[in-house]
Each structure stands twice: as C-alpha cells, then as structure tokens.
Chain A
Amino acid sequence: MRAVLKIISWFSLILLTAPSILFLAGAMDLPAVKRIMLLATLLWFASAIPSGKGAKPTKAV
C-alpha cells in the first residue's frame, strides 16, 4: 500500500508540473493548467501524508 501511495505521490508531482510545460509550448490553455494543478495538489497531499513522507524530517538538524 505504501509503495502504491509513493508512486501516486511521484506521479502527482509530474502532474503538477507537466501542464505548465505544455502551456509554455502552446499545447494547453491556462484554465486546463489550473484545473490539473489543483487535481495534482489534492493527489499529492492525499498520497504523501499517509505514505510517510516527512516521517523522517529533513529539518532534523
């Protein structure tokens, strides 16, 4: 389960950035970018929190 969530979280980060690259290339319009980014954001937090990202704080020092 944890492995699946990790894959989803990585996928969500790709989903977050890819639309802006497509927009830059002129292959997607801005409203679509905004919608997909919001979806990617929800996916990121939904998958990253239970998958234990941040369980080992990177700011430990």
Chain B
Amino acid sequence: MELSQPDSAVSPPAEQGGFHPADEFERRPVPESALLGFKSFLGMYAGEHTAGTELMLGPLFVAHGAGAFDLIVGLLVGNALAVLSWMLFCAPIATRARLTLYYQLEKICGRKLVTTYNLANGTMFTILAGAMITVSATALGVWFRFEMPGLNDTTPTSWGWVAAVVVTGLLFAVCAAFGFKVISRFADIATPWMVLVFLVFGIVTFRRFVDATQTEIHSLADVWTLCKTSIWKGGAPLEGRVKFTFWHVMFFAWFCNMAWHIGLSDLSVLRYARKSWYAVASAAGMYIGHFAAWICAALLYAYQLHQNPAHSDVHPGPMTYEAVGLTGLLCVVIAGWTTANPTIYRAGLAFQSVIPKWSRFSVTLGIGLVATLAAAVYPKVTMRLLDFVAIWGLILMPMGAVIFVDFWLMKKFGLESDYAEKHQLSFHWAAAAAWFVTLAVCTWLVLSGRIEIYFVSLPGWFMAALLYIICSAVIQKKAGLITLARGKEA
C-alpha cells in the first residue's frame, strides 16, 4: 500500500489552513524554482510502498491459492503496468498542469463534488489506518498469547485482542495528533532498515523451506522446482476465498494503487517533477514493496501452512517472530506505526477540508479513535484486505477518468474543459454522473457475480470516461456552448 507525508490531494486549500511544511502551491502551478530532481522521487516511492500492510497482502495471495508462476510473473507484469500507468496517465498531466489533484478536480467538478470526493477518500484512509493498527496489534499477541481473529472471523475473538488493538490504536492516534512530524522523520530513518528486514524474512524462510523439505539446491531450476512444488503450490484456495490465477494477481498488482496512478491522486506529487519520465521512479516502490516485500511476506505464510496446514490464520506478529525473532516483531510494530501515522493524518486532512472549523489536532485524534474502533470490532476488513484495496481503487478511479478526459479530450470533441471554474459551478453534474453511475454499474456487476471486483475497474474506467463525455455534451448543448465552441474554432 501507498503511504507518505500528507499531500495536497486531500488537503484543503491554503486559505482554509492546510498543512504547510513549505509553500505547497495549493492553488497555483508549481513554479520552475520548486521543481525536484529524479532522486527525490526515487527515494519517496521506494520508501512509501513498503508498509505494514504488505505483511497482510503477501500471505493473502497464498490463501487465495496463487501458484508460483501466477504469483511471480503476475506481480512482475502487474507492477510494470502500474509503473506505466504512472508514466502515461498521471505524469503527463501532472507536469503540464502542475496542479494538485484537489485544485484540478475543483476546476472541473466544483467545490461540493470535491468535498464528496474528500469524504470518500478520508473514509478509505480511516479504514486503511485500522488495518495497520490490526497488523501492529498482532505483535502484542506474541507476548500476551490472547486469541487473535482468524482468516474468516468477522468479529473479535477475545477481550485480549480488543485490548491490544485499542492500546495500539490509541498510541498511534495520539502520536499522529501530537507528533506527526517527528514520526514522519522517524519513518524516513526506519525505511532502509525496514526494507532489508522484509528481505531477510524471505531469505530466512526460503532456507527453512529447503531444510523442511530436504531439498538439494544446485541450480536456479532447483529453486524454481521448490517454489512450484512446496511454497506456492497453487491448487485450491482456502475456505471462503476466490481462486487466484495469473490474471487475478496481475490485475491486483496493477490496480492496488489505482487511486494514485489511474485515479490521478499522484498529480499532487508528480507536479513537482522536472520531467514526465521521472514517474518511472515508481518502479522502485513497486518492485521493492509490491514485489519483493509481498513475496517475502507470502513465504512466511506459506511456511506456516507447510508446517501446519490447519494453521491458516494470518498473524504478522507471530509469523515474523518465528522467522527472525524480536527484530521481526519490531518491524511489524514500526511498519504499522510509521505508515498508520500519515494515513491517520491524511484522513484528518480530508475530513477537515469538509469542516474547516475543526482543529487539525482534534480531527486527527478523532480519526485515530474511529480507526481503532473499526479495527477492534471488525477485523474482517484486514482479513479481506485484497478486496478492500480493490474497492478503494474502484471508488476513486472514475474521477481519474474525468480529469483525463477533461484534460486531453474535451477540446477535441468541441467541448469546454474546466467547466465548473468557467461557469462558477459548485457541483458539475456531468462529473457527478460519470462517478456515481460508474460506481453503481460496477457494484451491480460485482454483486450479481458477472465480474470479479479485481477486474471491474478496467471497464469501469472506460465507462466513466464515456459517461463524462456524453453528459458534458448534453449539459453544454443545453447551455448552447457546443455551437459557440465550434464557431470559435471555425
């Protein structure tokens, strides 16, 4: 999952008191003097995609019965598509307009619709923070030995678990409210260590597999055989899970950060890039966090299942402790903490933009408490993290399609772009229809079993783009603008 310092994508405009580590150019293009070099993006992407949630996502691929080829090649291809999406969808607009997602959306959709977008985004960030709290709380289970929720549990399984989540969550919430910047700095320090610990999880567990299966390794072919026959055997998924094929893995890896690349949230980040191709830096995040870290985390879980097929619970704390001892536990806590911190903060920014009167402190604390409560009473979200991430991408994706069409295609169709700004609208119905109708149709497609959640966002993007063009044409024709625009061209 993606995490970083709060960006302007969800922050309120400057006059509402947004977060200002420096001038963030909330409502004007980033000037030439503030542009950043390639290295800045390399460091940012490499760090922000190695989060506590990787320890949940990797094992869930195993629970879904992904085979070795499907997992490894699926992740390679899916992550390449994600990088291309950053490079071809997000960066070209970001480096031309150099505006935040928030401001770009406001120009197209109007302030009220952006507020709705922020509410949706803030809610998703809050739930994600809950998942991070859950991951870290599993570390406490190693010491206190309370019963933790299993893969298919919907509600908490013990008071000890609830207490662990509440203590962890409160700690995270208070830290985010009081010392966001200090923890952000600590996160920057912890990142290189954390990435290496993730890799060590994989190296150590691979050796344990070799020992457990008495395999002789003499070549890469032997490694691959071990992967296919003992680690990621494929076969039936665990109870209640959909069988993952190559396509599931590929689409999941591609759309895991859909809100950021195709959904264009990273306009706020890449607007600082000197060149559009700097978006290739996202490969560092994808192949460290969403390839190596997922595979290493998947190894941990596959080994647990190999030792005891009945032990199917995904508990990152005990799994990492078993592999590398206290360092593993520290990694679980720090990965969860340093990534929940900006997540809680971002959710706070999103909600504060809706009600600017609330102080940043109280909003951040409030969000932390809600995330804690959600994690304590409903662990199912974390156990279904793959589905949640896919839903998040689906919810925000249509607005990416709207911006894409508005930026590149509107003039080609003789339509006006930035319609809300030009006509001083607070709610542009064409964008709203594209968003809500796409979501309604996609939800129906998924719930009726016609298409799985992991794939629905692809046709959904085209649907949103088409709907926006059609609705814009209808609205602008009514206003007599199409004739005018064509007349001007002539």
Contacts and interface: CB of A to CB of B under 8 A. Distances in A.
Nearest to B203: A20
A37 B21 CA distance: 35
A21 interface: yes
Contact of A58 (B188, B204, B324, B327): B188
Interface residues of A, number: 28
B21 A60 contact: yes
B206 interface: yes
A38 interface: yes
Interface of B: 4-5, 7, 21, 36, 40-41, 43-44, 46-48, 184-193, 196-197, 199-200, 203-204, 206-208, 269, 272, 324-327, 330
A7 interface: no
B40 A60 contact: yes
A38 B326 contact: yes
A11 interface: no
B270 to A, nearest CB: 8
A37 B327 contact: yes
A59 B189 contact: no
B191 A33 contact: no
Given A23-B204, A24-B206, A60-B40, A37 B325 contact: yes
Given A59-B184, A60-B40, A61-B41, A21 B325 contact: no
Nearest to A25: B207
Nearest to B40: A61
Nearest to B191: A58
A41 B36 contact: no
B79 to A, nearest CB: 20
Given A48-B189, A57-B185, A24 B203 contact: yes
Nearest to A12: B193
A37 B466 CA distance: 54
A32 to B, nearest CB: 11
A39 to B, nearest CB: 9
A53 B189 contact: yes
Contacts of B325: 34-35, 37-38
Given A38-B325, A61-B44, A16 B5 contact: no
Contact of A23 (B190, B197, B203): B203
Which among A20, A53, A55, A59 has the highest number of chain B CB atoms within 10 Å? A59
A60 B23 CA distance: 12
Nearest to B270: A61
B257 to A, nearest CB: 15
Contacts of A41: 193, 197, 327, 330
Contacts of A23: 203-204, 207
Q: Chain A interface mostly helix, strand, loop or mixed?
A: helix
B193 A44 contact: yes
B204 A13 contact: no
A58 B186 contact: no
B272 A58 contact: no
A53 B203 contact: no
B200 A17 contact: yes
9 contacts: A13-B192, A17-B199, A33-B324, A53-B192, A54-B185, A55-B185, A58-B43, A59-B44, A61-B40
Nearest to A60: B40
A30 B207 CA distance: 10
Contacts of A30: 204, 208
Contacts of A55: 185
A38 B40 contact: no
Nearest to A10: B192
B158 to A, nearest CB: 28
Which among A24, A33, A37, A61 has the highest number of chain B CB atoms within 10 Å? A61
Contacts of A16: 193, 196-197, 200, 327
Which A-B residue pairs are the 7 nearest by beta carbons?
A58-B43, A34-B325, A54-B188, A54-B189, A20-B203, A37-B327, A59-B5
Given A41-B330, A54-B189, A60-B21, A34 B40 contact: no
Contacts of A54: 185-189
Contacts of B200: 16-17, 20, 37
Contacts of B41: 61
Nearest to A48: B189
Interface in A3-53: 13, 16-17, 20-21, 23-24, 26, 30, 33-35, 37-38, 40-41, 44-45, 48-49, 53
Contact of B193 (A13, A24, A34): A13
Given A13-B193, A17-B200, A59-B188, A37 B324 contact: yes
